[in-house]
């Protein structure tokens, strides 16, 4: 098995230099392999279509699909962030109501 991102610096396009708290450099993977595998699995669903295309059509189709997929992923991330933000606001409000109720009960 081949290491996709050797951490010895031999594959500079696959690794980045990161510094620890003491300022010592070390190599780190520059990409998320799990996300790559998921994207490849999704693209595999288009294999029958892609096999019959000319190289120009293949490139155009692949770029278009990646463009739309990226837009979809970013939109999903924004929705998730918004939902988490709303949940945290709800939790804060719930905590505030509980404190008010306890103050009223203590009177």
Question: How big is the CA angle at 51 (ends 67 and 76), to the nearest 5 degrees?
Answer: 25
Looking at the fold, whether 56 and 43 belong to one and the same domain comes out as yes
Other CB atoms within 10 Å distance of the CB of residue 15: 19
Looking at the fold, whether 48 and 86 belong to one and the same domain comes out as yes
H/E stretch holding 76 = helix 55-106
pLDDT in tens, 29-77: 777 778 888 888 988 999 999 999 999 999 999 999 999 989 998 999 9
- pTM (two decimals): 0.53
Question: Is the pLDDT confidence value at 101 over 50?
Answer: yes
Looking at the fold, whether 56 and 95 belong to one and the same domain comes out as yes
Residue 83 structural domain: 33-106
* Length of the chain measured in residues: 107
Number of domains in the chain: 2
């Amino acid at each position: 098995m081949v290491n996709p991102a050797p951490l010895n610096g031999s594959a500079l396009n696959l690794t980045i230099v990161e510094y620890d708290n003491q300022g010592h450099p070390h190599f780190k993977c520059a990409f998320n392999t799990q996300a790559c595998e998921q994207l490849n699995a999704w693209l595999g669903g288009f294999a029958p279509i892609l096999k019959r295309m000319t190289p120009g059509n293949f490139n155009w189709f692949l770029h278009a699909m990646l463009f739309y997929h990226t837009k979809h992923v970013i939109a999903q991330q924004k929705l998730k962030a918004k939902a988490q933000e709303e949940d945290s606001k709800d939790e804060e409000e719930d905590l505030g109501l509980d404190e008010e109720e306890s103050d009223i009960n203590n009177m």
